[in-house]
Amino acid sequence: MGFTSFEGLRNGMAGRVAGRSVVAWVLTSALAAGCGVAELPSEEQGPELRTQEQALIDDNGLSLNGLSLNGLSLNGLSLNGLSLNGLSTTDFSTWFNGDPANNARLMRYMIRCAVPAGETRTFTNPSTGTVYSWPGVLGLAPNWAGGAPATVVEQQVISACLGAHANNYGLNVSISVLGRDSSGSAIPFSAEELSMFSRKESCFFGNVFTNEGLFAGNDRNSLAADESTPRPCGLKGFGAQSNPACEQVKRIGQCEQYCTLDAGGTYYTHCTVNGVQYKPLTTRLRPQDVNRCGDGVCQQGESCGFGITADSCLLDCGSCVL
């Protein structure tokens, strides 16, 4: 199975839903089957203990606020990879200490996406002595994880993974993440995972290493007028443009207009935009994580008003009149 997410970095079974809110996704200079969710340890704690079946479920919450697409060439990771050599360079330390709290969260997600389950990457901050330990989960970029420069395909897959885990609302929402790693191997999944996460959501792709940006589209369905989700970078209403809460991700409309499905029709294998072919990741939601106007609860993604649509939901959010 496969899940990943970013907000509370909560995990479940095999590795593809990631969690906890990343207050700011600052990509500056150098830069998945099962059930159940358990809180991840903090960055300063030791590696998370997981079984093979615990690698595929997480929650999302990575914020794109403050995103800077300046490539990944100056922090030591571009040439030295996610190895001791990469994490021990002066360039990496300088970058990290520019915003330790947010960069620690970003590294948690990058390691989670790139490094296989059962491995960790540890960094001792020379300025503070704080030890950070980040567990791997998906293993999407084995060469980069092993210390080699990231290939273009690895750059694309990691970018797609970061996009899939983006949630500028900072909310913890379980998702299923499907697709292929940089070597072309499919992220494992089960019928149980597909059944639990039955609502198709989005495709994510791009390359933040080269300033090409991030793209997202709807996977074969759209939100109805009375529906909303707490993932502003994911599923949208038909024809809708980028959510104001996720302007850093460019909407492409429907995924099938730009992307090709695998033989089983489960996930997309490649997407082409502006003449460039990318390796995407495909996400799915649980039905209970799609909100409807009229359920009596004003949820993130809904707005007050006098109507019965998500952006004007009188029953849940009131009339906006003070």
pLDDT per position as a tens digit, 11-63: 333 334 333 222 223 232 223 222 222 223 333 333 232 222 333 445 555 55
Q: Is the pLDDT of residue 222 over 70?
A: yes
Strands 227-228, 291-292: pairing is antiparallel
Instruction: Spell out the SS3 assignment of 255-300.
Output: HHHCEEECCCCCCEEEEEECCEEECCEEEEECHHHCEECCCCCCCC
Q: Is the pLDDT of residue 310 over 60?
A: yes
**C-alpha torsion sign, points 290, 140, 7, 167:** negative
Buried-exposed string 176-198: b where 16+ CB fall within 10 A, e elsewhere: bbbbbbbeeeebbbbeebbebbe
Distance CA 299, CA 293 (A): 9
Predicted pLDDT of residue 179: 97
Distance CA 109, CA 125 (A): 18
The DSSP code for 129 is -
pLDDT per position as a tens digit, 72-104: 444 678 778 898 888 998 888 988 898 888 888
Predicted pLDDT of residue 170: 76
HSE (side-chain half, CA atoms, 13 Å) at 120: 16
Distance CA 30, CA 222 (A): 35
pTM of the model: 0.79
Q: What are the domain boundaries of the chain?
A: 4-287, 291-317
Give the closest residue to 175 by CA, choosing from 215, 115, 235: 235
Q: Look over the chain and give the mean of its residue pLDDT values, rounded to a whole number.
A: 78
pLDDT per position as a tens digit, 144-170: 999 998 999 999 999 999 999 888 887
Predicted pLDDT of residue 75: 66
Neighbouring residues of 188: CB distance < 8 A, sequence distance ≥ 6: 1, 2, 14, 32, 33, 56
Distance CA 105, CA 110 (A): 9
**C-alpha torsion sign, points 4, 268, 214, 207:** positive
Neighbouring residues of 244: CB distance < 8 A, sequence distance ≥ 6: none
Confidence of residue 71 (pLDDT cuts 50, 70, 90): very low
For range 119-147, the mean pLDDT: 94
Contact 166, 62 (CB under 8 A): yes
